[in-house]
Amino acid sequence: LTLANNNMFNPRLILQKDGRHPQILYLTTFLIYGIIALGWEIEITRYIITIVTCLICQAVGIHFTTKKYNGLKSALITALSLCLMFKANLIITIILAAVLSIGSKYFIRINNKHIFNPSNFGIIATILLTNDAWVSPGQWGSDALQLFYLGIAGFFVLFRVGRINTSLSFLATFIGLQFTRQVIYMGWPVDHFFHSLTSGTLLLFTFFMITDPVTTPNAPKARIIWAGTIGVLAFLLTNWFYVHTAPLWALFIISPLTVLLNKIFIHKKFSWS
């Protein structure tokens, strides 16, 4: 009994037990860093509202469906993602984004599986429905050290959820196309190319949004194709339509392709333990 109790409070075992645990830990760490070091303290009330709204919506959904309240962990990840990426002037807009994010998990489903990453859907849908929502990549600044730590933490989480191939496929495609266009074709300085990639939002997208194991294709080959397609579309939206948050829009547009890829590449469906 003593050993069992010790294991319950062993941080290492807690992180290993569920892939959502390290996600929650690192997203929370990034949010605290933003509040302390980047001046986000004025947004604390909005962060609390976002988190509470997501948890309430998830609890209601669980009550009427599975009755498995460990699903609240997923809602917390969604809420933290919204806190780190989503901006709005009005409180009602923030609540709307949270409701749409969690609601999409229950009302937009195919084959008993939601097809949109919740925070991605909530952000894009709220931007489309209101004139009061946006994503601010510049809020992270471009400090190389902080982005390096963000990237390292992201890779750690990916190893836990088994979606490293998704992230690498997207990065290889998007960065490869950007390098070819900016450096090789247009002759821009390499430092300009690297500066264009120093976005905390891009790294959060790469490591915590596009790699959502529930909404990515089930088969590894399908995930590589899917993520590469998102990389191509993000490249096109960035350079020809001047969309500064192109990866988020690309994911939103390509997400329904998951259904087709799951039919072509048969593989066991992921579920949180």
What is the pLDDT at residue 141? 66
What is the pLDDT at residue 29? 86
Query: What are the per-10-residue average pLDDT scores of the chain (273 residues)?
Result: 47 62 88 89 96 98 94 96 96 99 96 94 98 85 62 68 82 96 95 81 86 91 97 98 95 97 91 66
What is the pLDDT at residue 189? 94
| DSSP string for the chain | -HHHHHHHT-HHHHHHH-THHHHHHHHHHHHHHHHHHSSGGGGHHHHHHHHHHHHHHHHHHHHTTT--GGGHHHHHHHHHHHHHHEEESSHHHHHHHHHHHHHHHHHSEETTEE-S-HHHHHHHHHHHH-SSEEE-GGGG---HHHHHHHHHHHHHHHHHHT-HHHHHHHHHHHHHHHHIIIIIIS---HHHHHHHH--HHHHHIIIIITT-TTTS-SSHHHHHHHHHHHHHHHHHHHHHS--TTHHHHHHHHHTTHHHHHHHHS--PPP---
What is the pLDDT at residue 23? 85
What is the pLDDT at residue 85? 94
Domain ranges of the chain: 2-137, 140-264
What is the pLDDT at residue 2? 47
pTM of the model: 0.90
